[in-house]
Amino acid sequence: MVDGTPRIKVRRVEKPPYVVDESRLRRFNSRNIVFERVMWDPSWEGYRRMYDEKVLDIIAEGKPGYSRLDFALSYASWIVRDGFEGGLSWTKIKPYRPPLVSVGIDWTKMRYDVDDPHEMSAYIKWAGRLIGASLVGICKLNRLWLYEDVEIPERFENVIVMAIEMDAEAIETSPAVPATIATGVGYSKMAFVLACMGEFIRNLGYDALQCGNDTALSIPLAIDAGLGELGRNGLLITPQYGPRVRLCKIFTDLPLESDKPIEFGVREFCKKCKLCAEHCEAGAISMDDEPSFEGVCRSNNPGALKWYVDVERCYLFWCENGTDCSTCIKVCPYNRASMLTRASGDREGVTPGGILKGML
């Protein structure tokens, strides 16, 4: 373990800061996501186990942070994500005002000419921040990151990746329920942000496929889009918030300029730190000094150089805990470092540049 706070000095780089063995890395099949395997894979202990199966017993124990109130708010925090179908829409959510459509006026179907993808990207980032995304990055779609069982047309070549910050104080309570509330709020905010951004793009006459964790691996896309690097805990580490974010993305044919990836020394720091592995109650995070290309369970995708997280163990801990867990987010020094340095955080690229200059 290393002491202290990592220094965050971000530099833009030409290539994403990950290493893959191209002879081994395959597209990941979404059937192997641990939550999917709960439904179909009797070969592991988590089969047909729901992680809220013990909630009543846990409430009865009376532990702080596991009360009926905490669970009630936790379930409520997910409601926009779970109850609002527009959050993950791939088509127009709301038709333009019917009276005008009936007389043939629907300007939202007219394609907006994008003369300058750089300016368009600046506007997208400004819009993303305005509607609630904490970070917005753009990359070309590397189709290796699409799930093996998903295809989307070639014209969707750009990806807008957005990160939503989760509440720091609530995450500090992990593995108790308030941390889960922060997670649920992150997912519900994600639905709002996705819907506004997707509909904005469709109002410009382009297509937008709004995605949460579905359709493709979010973390490598976020790395490609310059939002952060991969940590030992298997999560995206951002300079601004550490791993304390949820990720979502939109695939689009809107012409955009990609961001360059960033590097700020996460892998080297993780080699010595190991705090997430030491605090993980499931023993799911590797203590090895060096990352590897080998997965440790069926829900990993071997062929990328990283510390593979045993997500089977992680899920089984959630079942015992009665709720999910954010301890590997809570203890990460980048979480703390990012809280300290946020005031001077990187807001690069979020102002709309020339597009709004004339208006401000």
**Smallest gap from residue 197 Cβ to ligand SF4 (A):** 28
Site for ligand SF4, residues 49 to 108, rule: CB under 6 A = none
For ligand SF4, the closer of residues 121 and 327 by Cβ is 327
Residue 196 or 236 with smaller CB distance to ligand SF4:
236
Q: By CB under 6 A, name the one of 136, 245, 276, 304 that touches ligand SF4.
A: 276
Among 282, 300, 308, 349, binds ligand SF4 (CB under 6 A): 282
Query: x/- binding map, residues 208-247, to ligand SF4, per CB under 6 A?
Result: -----------------------xxx--------------
Comparison of 160 and 245: residue with beta carbon closer to ligand SF4: 245
Closer residue to ligand SF4, CB minimum distance, 158 or 180: 180
Q: What span, in angstroms and rounded, lies between the C-alpha atoms of 148 and 151?
A: 8
Nearer to ligand SF4, 178 or 349 (CB): 178
Nearer to ligand SF4, 17 or 255 (CB): 17
Let me know: does 20 contact 26? Beta carbons within 8 Å.
no
**By rule CB under 6 A, what count of residues binds ligand SF4?**
24
- Could you tell me the smallest distance in angstroms from the CB atom of residue 49 to ligand SF4? 15
- Binding residue (CB under 6 A) for ligand SF4 from 285, 308, 322, 352: 285
Which positions from 255 to 274 touch ligand SF4 by CB under 6 A, shown as an x/- string?
--------------xx--xx
User: Closest CB to ligand SF4 among 247 and 331?
Assistant: 331
Residue choice 306, 309, 338, 352 for contact with ligand SF4 (CB under 6 A): 309
Q: Scanning residues 320 to 339, which ones bind ligand SF4 (CB under 6 A)?
A: 325, 327-328, 331-334
User: Would you tell me which residues interact with ligand SF4 (CB under 6 A)?
Assistant: 231-233, 269-270, 273-276, 280-282, 284-285, 309, 314, 317, 325, 327-328, 331-334
